[in-house]
Amino acid sequence: MKDYSDLKEFTDKKIRTLRNNLNNRLETFKKGEKGAKVLPPSHMLHGMDEGDCKALLLKVQDLIKKRSKA
């Protein structure tokens, strides 16, 4: 699993891409698709389960809000 402790260093575009990927991944979990596709090691969400994705999405959304106010 990748380290996202440095989210503040991400560009706006990379943050938006991460948010979109997280939303798509969570939608896959929500649909309950059996055996949701295992992501390749090169994918930014590789090794993350539903809980990890939800927690990271909250951090990303908070960062987007802070940046929009700045």
Q: How many domains does the chain have?
A: 1
Q: Which pLDDT belongs to residue 1?
A: 72
Report yes or no on 14 lying in a domain.
yes
Is 1 a domain residue? no
Which structure tokens are listed for 33?
A: 């698709």
Per-residue pLDDT tens for 11-69? 999 999 999 999 999 999 988 766 678 899 999 999 999 999 999 999 999 999 999 98
| 47-62 residue pLDDT tens | 999 999 999 999 999 9
Is the pLDDT at 5 greater than 70? The verdict is: yes
Residue 53 located in a structural domain: yes
Instruction: With a cut of 80, say whether residue 3 has pLDDT above it.
Output: yes
Q: Which domain holds residue 64?
A: 7-69
- The model's pTM is 0.89
